[in-house]
Structure 1
Amino acid sequence: MEAHSYTLRDLPREERPRERLMQYGASSLSNAELLAILLRTGTRRESAVHMAQRMLRQIGGLRNLVDISIEEMTEMKGMGLAKAIQLKAGIELGRRLAQSRLNETITIRKPQDAADLLSEQMRYLQKEHFVCLFLNTKNHLIAQETLSMGSLNASIVHPREIFRAAIKCSSASVICAHNHPSGDPTPSAEDIGLTRRLVEAGEIIGIDVLDHLIIGDGSFISLKEQGLM
């Protein structure tokens, strides 16, 4: 018998994730089952569900899918370029949905407002990302930009990059944020030093640096609230 890739149709009907989703709803499916629907097919030796389970074990869980690259995906057994692109697109749609606010004007008046906007986007990232929120004179969000992606424990960002982006979008003020992949939002000496340099540069240029948030896993710290800027 000729070998073939296992598809979801090869599973018993009661175990097929597509049928289970239609009958019971998406919330009833496991992470591996939802991932299997996106993968569609497995390998010659395993079903799409088994492949999804293996992938999740290999990368250390669902949350790590957020930060994995297409190149890293295609290094996994059974993951071709088409599957990797399809999966990456699904992840990006989920990220944009979490970020969307039904096209309403987003106003940032306090640190919690900025944290509510950024926490779900940044808490699962495995590398440090330095993000800026650019505001107008009414504290309405006019742009968001990731200006740096660093190593597991450090990000590199220069003040000129931040203020170049701020000037480009005619921003009156900026809120900076970066994540700590460890999950602990406690600011380091480098975090505090960078923040104070940014505040000083902003005073010279005429663009206020309102705050610097450090995003952890389910928590955040505002350097302004802590009196560190």
Structure 2
Amino acid sequence: MRADFSPKDMSSRDFYKFLTSVVIPRPIAWVSSTSAGGVDNLAPHSFFTVASTKPPIVQFTPTARKDTLNNVEATGEFVVNFAAEDLFTKINDTGTNFPPGISEFDAAGLTREPSLAVRPPRVAESPVALECRLHQVIPVGNSFLVLGEVVHAAVRPDVLDGTHPDARRLKPLARMGRNEWSRLGEILEIARIPYSEWDNR
């Protein structure tokens, strides 16, 4: 037996809560942007992934029209800052619905670091920054799929294993359901089996 949930029988808010409790864990795009008037915005978005590798494009999905989306559409640029475990409370702080004229950098006590290829600043405390130029915004239902081409990546040396970002050193945060977040936990490693070796496994 299973419990059945139908979006037709639930409010959109209730089904949103259901989905975000099932699609877990979700990586967090900590997006910095700058308004046309010059105010730096910073907000976490947990609907986030890679959309393409050539060209390198990442995507995040605001579920409403807020400052991040307005700024990205106005300027065509943004930065995805890595959401690390030791920044947990700061990341949560930047999810507060501050008015457009207030910068979350200042409200949360975070440090701006100049980006190399785009105008919005990086979060200096974050170990990785992906500087992006807007590729496309696609309205989807009540949400907006934001696609950005990564034009530069900056990584703190202490989280690298050679030239490879190391997950254990990065210590990523992820979003779960409700007010729940998670740490990395145990890492499992397994090689993918080529079809030519399938019968010999």
Please, what TM-score do these two structures have when normalized by structure 2?
A: 0.30
Per residue, is there more strand in 1 or in 2? 2
Q: Which structure has more RCO (C-alpha within 8 Å, separation ≥ 6)?
A: 2
